[in-house]
């Protein structure tokens, strides 16, 4: 499908949260290091990149399987990590350029948010950055049974919007997120805040941008560079 720079007829823009709206990955990494240390889990640093875009419970199931023992309880680790993460959230920042992009997009298209995070975490982020008025639909981990890369999160979001999946542009930063949106039938813009362009393209992103300024221009919202287009 030709997605050369032009104003596409998208009725809605759907945002992932971690790595797209909020710059949370450093705090996730810090929280994981704290929890792994407290619970004696020898997780090597090279494993951390593979945690991006994975729901916390699935992440700890994997960690316990690979690095833990029968003494490690997944539920306890998941709760402890969330508590640690929330305690560090006051240091969190928004992704560069996202708030201006959201404000401009709100006047042109319907906006939604789809995250693998819990509703508690999502609520904390929305309160901290005053985001409630922008998004008419929010889907969190509690709203679905199958997480990214399964298409269910984005199918649920488009269902709540009352729109066909092809009428929605999804913005994702992770390989699992791109796969989820692509499998749901949405158009996908990958942003390189967490993964390299090639990885996002291989996962199914229709376009890849480095900044929200590039995405804004492609959507006809401003001028600041041009995104890469893929087949």
Q: Domain of 209: which CATH number? A: 3.40.50.1000
H or E segment to which residue 128 belongs: helix 119-129
Domain end marker among 47, 74, 90 = 90
- Which residues face 168 on adjacent strands? 12
Number of structural domains (the chain) is 2
Q: Are 140 and 65 in the same domain?
A: no
List, for residues 78-127, the tens digit of each pLDDT value. 999 989 988 998 888 999 999 999 999 998 999 999 999 889 889 999 99
Residue 155, in any domain of the structure: yes
Query: Would you state the structure tokens that stand for residue 150, as one six-digit string?
Result: 């399964």
Among 14, 25, 54, 21, which residue's Cα sits nearest to residue 188? 14
Residue 40 in tokens? 């004696």
Task: State how far the Cα of 142 lies from the Cα of 24, in Å rounded to an integer.
Answer: 20
Q: Which of the four pLDDT bands, split at 50, 70 and 90, describes residue 1?
A: very low
pLDDT at 4 over 80: no
């Amino acid at each position: 499908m030709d997605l050369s720079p032009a104003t596409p007829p998208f009725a809605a823009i759907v945002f992932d949260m971690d790595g797209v709206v909020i710059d949370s990955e450093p705090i996730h990494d810090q929280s994981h290091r704290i929890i792994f240390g407290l619970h004696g889990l020898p997780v090597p640093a090279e494993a951390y990149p593979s945690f991006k875009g994975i729901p916390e419970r699935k992440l700890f199931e994997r960690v316990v399987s690979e690095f833990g023992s029968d003494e490690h309880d997944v539920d306890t680790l998941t709760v402890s990590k969330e508590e640690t993460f929330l305690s560090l959230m006051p240091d969190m920042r928004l992704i560069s350029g996202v708030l201006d992009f959201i404000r401009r997009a709100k006047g042109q298209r319907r906006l939604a948010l789809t995250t693998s995070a819990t509703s508690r975490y999502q609520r904390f982020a929305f309160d901290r950055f005053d985001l409630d008025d922008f998004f008419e639909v929010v889907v969190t981990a509690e709203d679905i049974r199958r997480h990214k890369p399964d298409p269910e999160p984005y199918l649920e979001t488009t269902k709540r919007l009352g729109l066909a999946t092809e009428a929605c542009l999804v913005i994702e930063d992770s390989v699992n997120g791109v796969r989820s949106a692509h499998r749901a039938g949405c158009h996908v813009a990958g942003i390189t805040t967490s993964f390299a362009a090639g990885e996002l393209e291989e996962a199914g992103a229709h376009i890849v941008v480095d900044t929200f300024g590039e995405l804004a221009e492609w959507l006809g919202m401003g001028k600041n560079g041009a995104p890469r287009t893929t087949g």
